[in-house]
Amino acid sequence: MLKEAAKSSPTNAAKITSAMGSILSQAGRNQEAIAVYKELLERYPNDEDIFRTAHSNMSIVYVNMGDYAKGEAELEILLARTPEEAGVNNDLGYLYADQGKNLEKAESMIRKAVEQEPDNFAYLDSLGWVLFKRGKVKEAVEPLEKAIKVQIETMATDATVYEHLGDVYFQLQQIEKAREAWKSAEKVASKATPVDKRLSEIRKKLDSLEKLKSLPTPSSGNTP
């Protein structure tokens, strides 16, 4: 249907074709999605919106395929073109942070994004996550809690923020808070369409807390 729509509406062909790439990606047809975005770049070499959309979306596809090097490369192309752009700084900084690499640079890039959009919950999540990865665990709490507050206010749904906050609470040994955050992450992930691929990992974390509850508690007071 989209192919036919692109043919019948040449003026909207670029947007329609881009939408087709997104649908192919969501369906797991990654190589086809990449081919669509590469074709867009060839057909519209001077269109800045196409340039950004194609490279950004190809980065997502490559990361979903587990090819982080190619995912980074696509974002680095964008960063070279627009070094101050908030979204690019956030996306590449998060990708670095998630892999535990270039962490100082990643924090600097993400902070640049947050400065431009201080109430963007995705950017706040990235900041909390890079701080966590850098071992600044207590500092990570504030941006992540704010990210969830903004997410609730804007009626957005993203399990990642809850999972990250649960990880931080767990590292701080605030077990009940970690449990509640991971439960929220599980609820959001299970309702996603398609189901969030992180769901199984979130449930493993919750299961690990249940096992902790079954362990003998240490003695206290004067009892040996």
- pLDDT tens-place string over residues 140-168: 999 999 999 999 999 988 999 999 999 99
Pick the CATH number of 1-82 from 1.10.760.10, 1.25.40.10, 3.30.950.10, 1.10.240.10: 1.25.40.10
Compute the average pLDDT of residues 190-203: 90
Domain definitions of the chain by residue range: 1-82
Compute the average pLDDT of residues 89-99: 97
Residue 31 predicted with pLDDT over 50 = yes
* Banded model confidence at residue 219, pLDDT cuts 50, 70, 90: very low
Q: How much is the mean pLDDT over the chain? A: 90
Angle at 161 between CA 159 and CA 167, to 5 degrees: 105
| Chain position carrying tokens 């490369």 | 73
* Banded model confidence at residue 220, pLDDT cuts 50, 70, 90: very low
Question: What region does 153 belong to: left with phi over 0, alpha with psi -120 to 50, or beta?
Answer: alpha
Give 134's DSSP letter: T
Q: What is d(CA 94, CA 63) in angstroms, rounded to the nearest whole number? A: 12
Compute the average pLDDT of residues 1-30: 79
User: 159-171 and 199-213 helices cross at what angle (nearest 10)?
Assistant: 30
Main-chain dihedrals φ then ψ at residue 8, nearest 5 degrees: -80, -15
Note whether 96 and 106 are within 8 A (CB). Answer: yes
- Half-sphere CA count of 175, side-chain side, radius 13 A: 8
> Whole-prediction pTM value?
0.87
Q: What is d(CA 179, CA 214) in angstroms, rounded to the nearest whole number? A: 15
